[in-house]
Amino acid sequence: MTGDGADPTRTPATAIDPPSWFREGAAVSDSGIYDSFDRDWPDCWDRAGDLLDWKAEYETVFRGGDAPPFEWFPGGELNASVNCLDRHLPERKNQRALVWEGQLDERRSYTYLELYREVNALAAGLRDLGVEAGDVVTLYLPMVPELPAAMLACARLGAVHNVVFAGFSADALADRMERADSAYLLTCDGYYRRGDAIAQKNKADNARLAVDREVEVVVLDHLGEGVHLGDGYHDYDDLVDAHEGETVDPVPRAAADPLFRIYTSGTTGEPRGVTHTTGGYLAHVAWTAQSVLDIRPEDTHWCAADIGWITGHSYVVYGPLALGATTVLSAGTADHPERDRLWKLIDRHAVDVFYTAPTAIRAFMKWGAEYPERHDLSSLRLLGTVGEPIDQRAWHWYREHIGGGDCPIVDTWWQTETGAILVSTLPGVDAMKPGAAGKPLPGIEAEVVGPTGDPVAPGERGELVVTRPWPGMPVALAEGTDWGEHAVSRRDGWRYHPEDAATVDDDGYVTFLGRADEAVNVAGRRFSTMELESTIVGVPGVAEAAVVGADHEATGSAIYAYVAPEHGVDEATLRERVRDAVEDAVGGVAVPEAVVFTPDLPKTRSGKIMRRLLEDVANGAALGDTSALRNPEIVGELQSRTPDDP
């Protein structure tokens, strides 16, 4: 796309209405909801607050002016573990709260009563170790049921959990513990990934040595092979067994008290610590789990994200459990032992709602439809995506091959910082437009603005800004204490800048184009990498593509396209097709200087394509930090495929 006007690469998607069978049963199907929320703002958010049980009712929904501080549900007191467990016991103590599928085909499930008991015993154990309200407890665990149990045990005590993705290194763990000032660590001996045992405790031991204070460590013997415990170490099972049958009074928390801390990596530099609140966050997550993901208490919901990321916090743990549904937790990977693993599990557990990322969908496409075809996926009622823009081809593939052709899809836009979904269609209300996420949800005010801060015309590229506070906003934004640059107005009034490039159409649907800084400048013309990528992945035979700018003497930058082809495709033919497609969609000036084929693209552990690395490779530059890479083995492969020798 060019910097000076309309978007030539995106043919407007045809709107698709949600099927009437879906609309009829949807949790939210009132088409007047946008207007009524707008009229009643901020009191409309009472509807979210109402989904929770409060120990002390809030005095008002929102208190605040045009600038921070903002207070959501002031005066309200609640406990998150009560909302996710205790209050469901009278009606569904024997319903499954969570189902766990291990990497080695092990299976375990917890009813609400069982999870309640585990959480209480663990909370009693942690209290014994000295954990109090406000303390930060770091959880360094893979996808095991004890991870959500530990999160809820912390919440019960009013302690703040700090989940660190299990795949992170000892240094990354130590860094996050230092930053969060955390004196407690819960980890495990090890776990399996693609059949290999990972020594988690070794990493935890090293981190503990690196941290500048005494740390109490609880170790879960997940592999069941026995663990050596030194001084300051405690066995998870011993701790829980010692307190079996005990209940811990839930510590009431003010709505604005922190529920958890999570670190997110900016595109550059330091990890950014984001702290979410107990009341506003939980209300926003529960409300979007209901209105967008349409989760009902009788549903089995599967969000395939790792709990180490915000998506797992909000839509594996807190959203589904706050609503009293069954949540699926799956360890390991989608292609191990076989490429039909996910579909087998959907079939086995009769999953109603499935939520995953475009990067996963593109992998499924690459593997082929034969894998989902082996299983009965007819239990699915709704599909969701999150994490990256989804191109139209992947969208249609998802709907056709996973959704049986008629499941609605919600393309949900949000961030670690926003806590919960802000932009998406409401599946029981709005038509879907493949490729566009949708409108800001009812009660959310956001617009796409240009460099001056004024709204851009429909179809023009700009940046999304959120112009009103939202309940799931993090503490720093609510208090106005941090990230000053984001809260500062470029025009009038308070705004939050997520730094995502976007366009908006005549119906108010927002199409995200990637991070605002992802642009290549060729001879003074700006091209969005996402725009070019969406053209290239539209070419039959292309599974995935990433576009970066390489330095070029004459034109400033040259466009390099890294392309992962589908199995068995002839590369020379595909290269021509890619060039032709870009020429047709954008013009000769945007035709990639180089099309480099690669078996896979470098991805971060949360599944986002690491363009920075490809840029370094394209430029023959020294590679920056690659510790966040999920597939480091691809680096050598990429370096060996120079554009001149493709």
In the complex, least distance from residue 161 CB atom to ligand 6R9, rounded to whole angstroms = 17
Quote the CA–CA distance of 227 and 207 in Å, as a whole number. Answer: 17
Quick check: bond before 12 cis, omega within 30?
A: no
Per CB under 6 A, which region of 75-83, 346-354, 408-416, 623-631 contacts ligand 6R9?
A: 408-416
> Which C-beta is closer to ligand 6R9: that of 71 or that of 500?
500
Find the binder of ligand 6R9 among 2, 288, 416, 535 (CB under 6 A): 416
> Which C-beta is closer to ligand 6R9: that of 334 or that of 436?
436
List the interface residues with ligand 6R9, window 540-579 (CB under 6 A).
Answer: none
Q: State the Cα torsion 327-329-334-340 to the nearest 10°.
A: -60
> Which C-beta is closer to ligand 6R9: that of 114 or that of 411?
411
In the complex, least distance from residue 304 CB atom to ligand 6R9, rounded to whole angstroms = 13
Binding mask 251-280 for ligand 6R9 (x = CB under 6 A): -------------x----------------
Quote the CA–CA distance of 198 and 169 in Å, as a whole number. Answer: 12
Q: Minimal CA–CA distance to 380: which of 13, 21, 623? A: 21
> Which C-beta is closer to ligand 6R9: that of 110 or that of 470?
470
Query: What's at 473, amino acid-wise?
Result: M
> Which C-beta is closer to ligand 6R9: that of 96 or that of 611?
611
Quote the CA–CA distance of 264 and 163 in Å, as a whole number. Answer: 11
Q: Minimal CA–CA distance to 530: which of 621, 436, 401? A: 436
List the interface residues with ligand 6R9, window 452-481 (CB under 6 A).
Answer: none
Find the binder of ligand 6R9 among 86, 306, 411, 447 (CB under 6 A): 411
Find the binder of ligand 6R9 among 415, 467, 619, 631 (CB under 6 A): 415
Quote the CA–CA distance of 412 and 399 in Å, as a whole number. Answer: 15
List the interface residues with ligand 6R9, window 318-347 (CB under 6 A).
Answer: none
Query: What's at 174, amino acid-wise?
Result: A
Residue with tokens 């060019």: 2
Neighbour tally for 637: CB within 10 Å: 13
Which DSSP letter does residue 448 get? E
Find the binder of ligand 6R9 among 49, 324, 389, 419 (CB under 6 A): 389
In the complex, least distance from residue 391 CB atom to ligand 6R9, rounded to whole angstroms = 11
> Which C-beta is closer to ligand 6R9: that of 539 or that of 609?
609
> Which C-beta is closer to ligand 6R9: that of 156 or that of 393?
393
List the interface residues with ligand 6R9, window 512-541 (CB under 6 A).
Answer: 512, 515
Terminus-to-terminus CA distance in the chain, angstroms? 26
Per CB under 6 A, which region of 27-35, 387-395, 485-493, 626-634 contacts ligand 6R9?
A: 387-395
Find the binder of ligand 6R9 among 500, 531, 544, 616 (CB under 6 A): 500
- CA angle at residue 307 from 514 to 199, to 5 degrees? 115
For residues 294 and 65, the answer to whether their CB atoms sit within 8 Å is no
Residue with tokens 């030194």: 230
> Which C-beta is closer to ligand 6R9: that of 324 or that of 498?
498
Q: Is 165 in the site for ligand 6R9 (CB under 6 A)?
A: no
In the complex, least distance from residue 472 CB atom to ligand 6R9, rounded to whole angstroms = 11
4-10: long-range contacts, CB 8 A cutoff, minimum separation 24? 4/525, 5/460, 6/459, 6/460, 7/459, 7/460, 7/461, 7/503, 7/531, 8/585, 8/586, 8/587, 9/531, 9/532, 9/534, 9/535, 9/585, 9/586, 10/435, 10/503, 10/511, 10/531, 10/534
Chain residues binding ligand 6R9 by CB under 6 A are 264, 309-311, 386-389, 411-416, 437, 498, 500, 512, 515, 606
